[in-house]
Structure 1
Amino acid sequence: MHIHFIQHEVFEAPGACLEWAKDRKHDITFSKVYENQPLPETADNIDILIVMGGPQDPGTTREECPHFDAHAEKALIQKAVEAGRAVVGICLGSQLIGEALGARFEHSPEKEIGVFPIRLTADGLKDEKLNHFGASLAVGHWHNDMPGLTPQSKVMATSAGCPRQIVAYSNLVYGFQCHMELTPEVVELLIAEELDFLENNTVHAYVQKPEEICKHNFSEMNEKLFQFLDKLAEEYRLTSSLFPDLEKTKK
């Protein structure tokens, strides 16, 4: 399978998502937009599109951040969804998916940085790609916003600080406001970017100190993510086999 990553900043690295793609020996390509690498013109050669996070939001303009083109990314997401590809958005990526499908992103009730539990909703517990998470799972967080909801979307997981942690927009399109891709190496990059804030925060209840974040073992969370991605890839394979014209466009 061909996995394409959109990465907005060096410190918002794909972490465990990239480990999964390499371990499964998938073909991997990148649009590292912070290096001004272009987006694909079409989704024809993509099986799973993974859109990473970033300090931007979907309303960030080219004037504010010259390397981030929200309109172009939303257009690619739309093409991928319309072509029946699997799409996963993380943090900013989840918000871009919602916007691409007509739902405006919103500010989360709480800023969350650190490791806090998410709880699956009734819909989440019924979802075979997610229910192995269990009723509650400690995961990474690094956000201030959350994705919008379309009439067809379902909230699959919430947290104490954010009511939209995982959103299913279809059986192949998922937005993760939380960061299950975090690894110790990625956490170090993120902490370095916000060290002053993390050390001096006295306002936000769901922002942990750097040492508290670093002591967490991310392996269980990563393994749960791997299982989700395996299940998503398998559902995509089954869906593609039902529509052989999809396979023709990727050859």
Structure 2
Amino acid sequence: MTDILILTHIDYCPPGYLAQVLEEAGRDFSVLRVDRGELDGYDLDRPLAVAIMGGPMSVNDDLPWLATEVAALQHFIRRDIPMIGHCLGAQLLARALGAEVRRMPYTESGWQPLRRIGGGADSPWLAHLPVEFAIFQWHGDSFALPPGAQPLLSSRWCENQGFAWGDKILAVQGHPEMTEDLVRLWLEDWAHLLDERQPSQQSVAQMLDQLPARVAALNQVARGFYRHWLDLAFP
């Protein structure tokens, strides 16, 4: 066990760039596959920081391990430790905090612009970011805001793109953890799920256009999130 716990749910949604940031910072971390039961029996009082990654499943699916994970997140919330959720991970945090997660009438995918809203102007989670920036998206569900949450981000296709809860929890609907290899992997294996005729979805060509530059910019977005998360856990 280590002081940093990363929860994953499928092979192709790994920590990605988050792992690189942690390795550069010299921080050891543990990665658990919750869908394989690896959270069962884990000492929930051990981690000092938790990250929750994405996955293709819905929070509303009838999967027993989802209830186990939500209960674990509620335990971490009571412990008041820093947490950051990515896509499904953000939806799981919303559910753990009492909010609804619902299916959208379309899928939002590709490099989509986000804008700050509400408390986003003053949030330390966004201190490194301009008013508008792009993030990689691929989701068909969306979370409502939990009671007491501070709305931070929005997009044309999804009103609630990010929220903070208290001073130690960040939920982001997009995928700041993406690397070039991950983007290419997703597009090689799952492009058949996309429909570029839908205005909320980019074509594969659009997603790959200027990919190194787009990922480099996304890395800076993610690095700010991850550094603040680490600073909260290890001041």
> 1:42 Cα shift?
3.5
Unmatched 5+ residue regions in structure 2? Answer: none
**Mapping of residues 1-251 of structure 1, within 5 Å:** 2-39=3-40, 41-62=42-63, 69-108=65-104, 110-198=106-194, 201-215=195-209, 216=211, 217-238=214-235
CA distance in 2: counterparts of 1:237 and 1:18, whole angstroms: 17
- Is this contact kept in 2: 1:58–1:105, CA < 8 A? yes
CA deviation digits over 1:115-160, x for unaligned, max 9?
Answer: 0110011411110221321100011001011122122001100011
CA distance in 2: counterparts of 1:142 and 1:31, whole angstroms: 22
Structure 1: which amino acid aligns with 2:21? W
- Is this contact kept in 2: 1:113–1:140, CA < 8 A? yes
Structure 2: which amino acid aligns with 1:148? A
CA distance in 2: counterparts of 1:126 and 1:92, whole angstroms: 26
Unmatched 5+ residue regions in structure 1? Answer: 63-67, 239-251
CA distance in 1: counterparts of 2:56 and 2:80, whole angstroms: 29
Q: Calculate the aligned-residue CA RMSD, in Å.
A: 1.8
- Is this contact kept in 1: 2:115–2:131, CA < 8 A? yes
The 1:110–1:133 alpha-carbon spacing in structure 2 relative to 1, beyond 3 Å, is farther
> 1:232 Cα shift?
2.4
TM-score in terms of structure 1 length: 0.85
> 1:33 Cα shift?
3.3
Structure 2: which amino acid aligns with 1:17? L
CA distance in 2: counterparts of 1:196 and 1:133, whole angstroms: 33
Shifted more, 141-150 versus 88-97: the winner is 141-150
Structure 2: which amino acid aligns with 1:226? R
> 1:37 Cα shift?
2.9
Structure 2: which amino acid aligns with 1:51? I
CA deviation digits over 1:57-113, x for unaligned, max 9?
Answer: 111113xxxxx6110000110111111111111111111111111111123464211
CA distance in 1: counterparts of 2:200 and 2:163, whole angstroms: 21
CA distance in 2: counterparts of 1:57 and 1:189, whole angstroms: 21
- Is this contact kept in 1: 2:114–2:154, CA < 8 A? yes
CA distance in 2: counterparts of 1:40 and 1:204, whole angstroms: 44
> 1:224 Cα shift?
2.1
- Is this contact kept in 2: 1:95–1:147, CA < 8 A? yes
Shifted more, 116-125 versus 103-112: the winner is 103-112
- Equivalenced residues, count: 231
CA distance in 2: counterparts of 1:138 and 1:2, whole angstroms: 31
> 1:2 Cα shift?
2.3
